[in-house]
């Protein structure tokens, strides 16, 4: 599903000294400089009240700028009509914000209809979007929002936000109200969808696990919308900047690396072409792993037995032990560059962070 982003409209987003002040005088964002690359899924994470939502809402002008600029695709969002701007920018919020008296299909087709697309094109696009988010249109198209689970409503929210092919998608705690299992599934599916469509995304969360699962890069925000560290997931976990970022990322850093680190050949023991089952348990078909499986799956397998066979999909290529998991963790920590300022926040259009492991 990946590898086609250049074909769709997408845009970089640039904050230049962006400042937001609420009418009561609260300075929510105090001079933010940040470059979001085209095609990138950038996560803003930080404690409640640090200015994440305000940052997002400056892009679609739900919050006006007191100073500075926000550029989308090189164009100043302050120029032109805010309503037209919002139709060009997808926006997904926590409780989806669906229109309760409109069917699912009508919700998804809202912006294309407002943009004057012919009915047949709206219908085709709506069906395509519902398929994309895993809701077959024949089953779900005619339902109303109250006939959906919370997770399904969020899927419709994503489908609606993407329906008019916006160059930019803003997501504010979109899965925050969904139960943990449904939330995990939504994260995985959304990650795949974003890869497929290539839309530039700014995703707000206060959940570090969600940030490291989703983000090409992650901005850890401090008070006043200050970017304390801008980096990929592995570097953030391996080398958090001392102080606020380290406190926020927390003591469970190594554990958080498990689901984003792959088993590699160098982590294995036993020579290539060894026996199919270790330790003389030839008749014991225990769990096996593949190269590229994540360390969380590897640990789950190692709970069942001390040594687990690893294949490349066809042949066994070695065996993994608990030591191998530690080796893998040390490997990614050693490989992650020390994060000397946010050099990678200056420019560049590539979407491969050092993390790049996929999810
Ligand atoms: P976050 O999304 O990180 O939780 P917000 O961007 O919502 O943070 O808020 C940043 C700061 O702005 C906080 O101090 C918050 O209390 C304040 N704030 C948010 N909305 C308003 C508002 N409508 N009026 C006044 N202050 C606000």
Distance 28 CA to ligand 1 centre (A): 6
Give the residue among 201, 247, 253 at the shortest CA–CA distance from 44: 201
Quick check: 224 and 192 in contact, CB under 8 A? no
Residues in the chain, pLDDT under 70: 1-9, 271-285, 338-359
Task: Indicate if the alpha-carbon torsion angle 277, 278, 284, 287 is positive or negative.
Answer: negative
- Pocket of ligand 1, candidates 26, 60, 223: which has the most ligand atoms within 8 Å of its Cβ, to mutate? 26
pTM of this structure: 0.82
Whole-angstrom Cα distance, residue 330 to residue 239?
A: 12
For residue 320 the two structure tokens come to 């993994």
Distance 49 CA to ligand 1 centre (A): 5
User: Pairing mode, if any, of strands 67-72 and 27-36?
Assistant: unpaired
> Domains plus CATH for the chain?
5-252 (3.40.50.300), 261-274+285-334 (3.10.580.10)
Quick check: 238 and 338 in contact, CB under 8 A? no
**Confidence at residue 204, expressed as pLDDT on a 0 to 100 scale:** 96
- Each residue's pLDDT tens digit, 39-49: 999 999 999 99
Q: List residues near ligand 1 (CB under 6 A).
A: 22, 24, 26, 28, 46, 48-54
Q: Which residues make beta-bridge pairs with 36?
A: 13
Other Cβ atoms less than 10 A from the Cβ of 352: the count is 8
Quick check: 325 and 302 in contact, CB under 8 A? yes
Quick check: 58 and 15 in contact, CB under 8 A? yes
**Confidence at residue 189, expressed as pLDDT on a 0 to 100 scale:** 85
Distance 155 CA to ligand 1 centre (A): 26
Whole-angstrom Cα distance, residue 288 to residue 216?
A: 29
**Confidence at residue 56, expressed as pLDDT on a 0 to 100 scale:** 96
Distance 204 CA to ligand 1 centre (A): 13
């Amino acid at each position: 599903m990946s590898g086609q982003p250049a074909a769709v409209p997408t845009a970089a987003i640039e904050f230049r000294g962006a400042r937001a002040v609420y009418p009561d005088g609260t300075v929510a964002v105090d001079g933010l400089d940040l470059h979001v690359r085209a095609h990138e899924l950038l996560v803003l994470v930080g404690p409640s009240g640090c200015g994440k939502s305000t940052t997002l809402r400056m892009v679609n002008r739900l919050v006006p700028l007191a100073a500075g600029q926000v550029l989308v695709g090189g164009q100043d969002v302050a120029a032109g009509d805010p309503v037209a701007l919002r139709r060009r920018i997808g926006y997904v919020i926590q409780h989806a914000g669906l229109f309760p008296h409109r069917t699912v299909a009508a919700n998804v087709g809202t912006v294309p209809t407002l943009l004057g697309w012919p009915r047949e094109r709206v219908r085709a696009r709506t069906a395509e979007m519902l398929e994309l988010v895993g809701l077959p249109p024949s089953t779900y198209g005619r339902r109303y929002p109250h006939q959906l689970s919370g997770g399904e409503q969020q899927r419709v929210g994503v489908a609606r936000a993407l329906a008019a092919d916006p160059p930019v998608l803003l997501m504010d705690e979109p899965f925050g109200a969904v139960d943990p299992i449904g939330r995990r599934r939504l994260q995985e599916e959304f990650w795949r969808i974003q890869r497929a469509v290539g839309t530039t995304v700014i995703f707000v969360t206060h959940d570090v696990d969600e940030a490291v699962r989703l983000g090409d890069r992650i901005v850890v925000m401090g008070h006043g919308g200050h970017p304390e560290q801008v980096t990929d997931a592995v570097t953030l976990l391996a080398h958090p900047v001392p102080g606020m970022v380290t406190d926020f990322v927390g003591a469970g850093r190594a554990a958080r690396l498990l689901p984003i680190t792959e088993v590699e050949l160098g982590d294995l023991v036993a020579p290539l072409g060894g026996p199919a089952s270790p330790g003389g348990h030839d008749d014991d078909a225990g769990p096996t792993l593949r190269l590229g499986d994540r360390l969380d799956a590897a640990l789950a397998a190692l709970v069942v037995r001390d040594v687990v066979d690893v294949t490349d999909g066809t042949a066994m290529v070695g065996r993994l032990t608990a030591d191998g998991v530690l080796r893998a963790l040390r490997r990614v920590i050693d490989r992650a560059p020390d994060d000397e300022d946010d050099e990678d926040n200056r420019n560049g259009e590539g979407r491969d962070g050092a993390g790049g492991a996929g999810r």
